[in-house]
Amino acid sequence: MTDRGVRSDPSWWRQAVVYQVYPRSFADANGDGVGDLPGVLSRVDHLVSLGVDAVWFSPFYPSALSDGGYDVDDYRDVDPTIGTLDDFDAVVAALHAHGIRVIIDIVPNHSSDRHVRFQEALAAGPGSPARDRYIFRDGQGVAGELPPNDWRSFFGGPAWTRLPDGQWYLHLFTPHQPDWNWDHPDVAEDFLRTLRFWGDRGVDGFRVDVAMCLAKDLREPYAAWEVVSANLPRPIGAGGPSRFPDGAHPLLDRAELDTIYASWRQVFDSYDPPLFAVGETWVEPHRLARYSDPRGLGQAFNFDFLWNPWEATRFREVIRDSLALAQTAGTSTTWVLSNHDLVRHATRYAPSPLAPDQRLTAAVPIGPEAREQGLRRATAATMLALALPGSAYLYQGEELGLHEVTDIPAASVQDPQARLVDGVLITRDGCRVPLPWTTSGPSFGFGDAEAHLPQPEWFGAVSVQTQTASDTSTLALYRRALQLRHELQCGEELTWLDLGADVVGFRRPNGWVSVTNFGASPTALPPGEVRLTNVDLVDGLLPADASAWLVPVATTDARTS
Ligand code: NOJ
């Protein structure tokens, strides 16, 4: 067990910088090519020098890795390739000792097909009480040879898999991820136990995987997939307003979720200070408040922000709407630009032959100029996000300005969602390639062995070691930005500044000003002392694809006198 010294402030998360660690690709201490918890322990200094407030760990549970660990065999243990529960305690203790909170991923929509409950259900056979914990149905057709309905999994292929005994089970993701039946009291009770297990172990909060999915309507007659899928929010579906009344879509965002998360809230609030939770919520913006309500999970990912093309108008709209929604719900919003499911934002913002809508999930090789422009826009966007009120979520490697790795050989692909679309390989592996820590050496300091996903040659030049030696590196910029954000952090309001159509500018209550130039020509900055830019000013003007932070000159005088 770890001490709770850092957990004294109940609202620590409202404006926290949360750094996402994808454990298998962060650092490998035992030289088996896969990242592990001792590896994280050996790199705590990196997280400290970066200045993050919390670390969110993607799943580290025992898993066959059919979906990168989001296929959980046991919710209350650590995968042996990643470490042990003792290693977990040691990581929590080390982070807490530096005032860094710990958030872990919880995956409540589905388990893995190796989970003891699923294995029990298989063994117990059709019609047994053990099968009620998951979603088993008889098939259609003369001998039940057809699936119960035509629903598809989010990763492609049917959402139903047939067993040798003839029954079918539902899985919204891979066939190795059977969906739990959340109408079953054992399922609900077991997750409460899991929350308490980790709460007692010292974690500060949870990131809730596909938080909008758990409850389902499996009553017959089933809605046709054409109708179900036409009403999924982006990027799972096409987006746009749902034809189902709010809370009545058969697969997601259902009204019953309120009861589930209210029971989780009771567990969260039984700790002092309460545990934190953020939902992975691909829902229409007007539904976000259901999850972020303080009586529910408390915070919800606002993914509209990362969906933005590089356009000032769109950024302004999304920021305004997100802040208003969060305020209505009595919470703070989130700003996410990259995570383990999406093309890294340095690549997304680069000029590319792909249509803007494709860039979140697909990447193609781009030339050096495009890479440079993408990175410049990415750091400008990061500074903008970090200056906004709310929590900022960073994904491991973005502090190095990493681009998506676009040349993963077909034989190395791990992502079950990987597919070729019009000759373009779509895979989430490109953002999950193990981090480069050193300029050279086996797996660039990730570990002693070859990394589990191949690292490209250019990783050495962007490694932590290379960038630490430079004052002008992306890493140096992130460190300065996080430090300054801490210094300047203040109340959760902003005042918009009118600096032209292509410029997003705002002032925080203490006078901290952030300006981002989305246009092609340099723009004048408002009065103030410039404290940080992602690229140098040109003749005192903010160039294209750049951000600047300013503080009032009077504040500066007071600070230095
Ligand atoms: C969302 C996770 O972020 C993603 O990586 C995973 O594949 C799906 N949920 C299914 O768990």
For position 468, which CATH number holds? 3.20.20.80
Torsion of CA 66, 411, 365, 309, to 10 degrees: -10
Asked whether residue 191 falls in the same domain as residue 165, the answer is: no
Asked whether residue 522 falls in the same domain as residue 404, the answer is: no
Asked whether residue 379 falls in the same domain as residue 238, the answer is: yes
Question: For 120, phi and psi rounded to 5 degrees?
Answer: -60, -45
The answer as to whether 355 is a domain residue is yes
Ligand 1 nearest atom to the CA of residue 71, by list position: 11
- pLDDT at position 230 is 85
CB 382 within 8 A of CB 533: no
Residue 554 has pLDDT above 80, yes or no: no
Residue 543 has pLDDT above 70, yes or no: yes
The CA 252 to ligand 1 mean position distance, Å, reads 15
Asked whether residue 140 falls in the same domain as residue 222, the answer is: no
Cα gap 47→400, rounded to integer Å:
13
The answer as to whether 44 is a domain residue is yes
Asked whether residue 60 falls in the same domain as residue 147, the answer is: no
Asked whether residue 504 falls in the same domain as residue 555, the answer is: yes
Task: Considering only residues 237 and 489, tell me which one the structure prediction assigns the higher pLDDT.
Answer: 489
Cα gap 5→259, rounded to integer Å:
32
Torsion of CA 87, 90, 91, 96, to 10 degrees: 160
Helix, strand, coil shares, percent, the chain, to 5: 35, 15, 50
Residue 172 has pLDDT above 80, yes or no: yes
Residue 244 has pLDDT above 90, yes or no: no
pLDDT digits over 292-330, tens only? Answer: 999 999 999 998 898 889 999 999 999 999 999 999 999
Give mean pLDDT, residues 252-260.
Answer: 96
- pLDDT at position 558 is 47
Q: Give the H/E segment covering residue 558.
A: helix 553-560
- Proportion of the chain above pLDDT 70, given as a percent: 96
Residue 282 has pLDDT above 50, yes or no: yes
CB distance 29 to ligand 1 below 6 Å? no
- pLDDT at position 2 is 42
Q: Which amino acid is at 234?
A: R
Residue 533 has pLDDT above 50, yes or no: yes
Asked whether residue 358 falls in the same domain as residue 300, the answer is: yes
Pairing state between β 160-162 and 136-137: unpaired
Give mean pLDDT, residues 404-425.
Answer: 91
pLDDT digits over 103-142, tens only? Answer: 999 999 999 999 999 999 999 999 999 999 999 999 999 9
Give mean pLDDT, residues 278-298.
Answer: 93
Cα gap 541→429, rounded to integer Å:
39
Query: Token pair for residue 471?
Result: 């004052």
Task: Considering only residues 147 and 560, tell me which one the structure prediction assigns the higher pLDDT.
Answer: 147
The answer as to whether 145 is a domain residue is yes
Asked whether residue 502 falls in the same domain as residue 525, the answer is: yes
Instruction: Return the best residue to mutate from 63, 111, 209 for the ligand 1 pocket (most ligand atoms within 8 A of CB).
Output: 209
Range of the domain at 513: 493-560
CB distance 301 to ligand 1 below 6 Å? no
Give residue 1's pLDDT band: very low, low, confident or very high (50, 70, 90). very low
The answer as to whether 442 is a domain residue is no
CB distance 70 to ligand 1 below 6 Å? yes
SS3 at position 19:
strand
SS3 at position 59:
coil
- Across the beta sheet with 503-507, what order do the strands follow? 495-497, 503-507, 513-517, 546-551, 529-533
Helix axes 185-200, 257-269, angle to 10 degrees: 30
Instruction: Return the best residue to mutate from 341, 342, 360, 426 for the ligand 1 pocket (most ligand atoms within 8 A of CB).
Output: 341
The CA 70 to ligand 1 mean position distance, Å, reads 6
Cα gap 553→392, rounded to integer Å:
27
Asked whether residue 149 falls in the same domain as residue 233, the answer is: no
Helix axes 368-387, 474-488, angle to 10 degrees: 10
CATH number of the domain that residue 165 is part of: 3.90.400.10
- pLDDT at position 292 is 96
Residue 396 has pLDDT above 70, yes or no: yes
What Å distances lie between residue 383 and 82, 84, 268, 475, 531, CA to CA? Answer: 33, 37, 32, 13, 12
- pLDDT at position 560 is 42
Residue 423 has pLDDT above 50, yes or no: yes
Other beta carbons within 10 angstroms of residue 264's beta carbon come to 22
Give mean pLDDT, residues 264-275.
Answer: 97
The CA 370 to ligand 1 mean position distance, Å, reads 30
Q: How many domains does the chain have?
A: 3
The answer as to whether 94 is a domain residue is yes
Residue 431 has pLDDT above 50, yes or no: yes
SS3 at position 153:
coil
The answer as to whether 419 is a domain residue is no
Rg value, the chain, Cα: 23
Domain final residue pick, 425, 450, 478: 478
CB distance 179 to ligand 1 below 6 Å? no
Residue 5 has pLDDT above 90, yes or no: no
Residue 155 has pLDDT above 80, yes or no: yes
Query: Token pair for residue 201?
Result: 């172990």
The answer as to whether 456 is a domain residue is no
The answer as to whether 367 is a domain residue is yes
Query: Token pair for residue 273?
Result: 């200070």
Cα gap 83→86, rounded to integer Å:
8
Least confident of 39-43, 86-90, 359-363, 402-406: 359-363
Mean pLDDT of the chain: 94
CATH number of the domain that residue 509 is part of: 2.60.40.1180
Asked whether residue 260 falls in the same domain as residue 353, the answer is: yes
The residues, any chain, with a CB within 8 Å of residue 370's CB and separated by 6 or more, are 350, 351, 352
Residue 163 has pLDDT above 90, yes or no: yes
Cα gap 309→426, rounded to integer Å:
19
Question: Tokens 């189902």 identify what position?
Answer: 244
- pLDDT at position 34 is 98
Cα gap 413→407, rounded to integer Å:
10
CB distance 210 to ligand 1 below 6 Å? yes
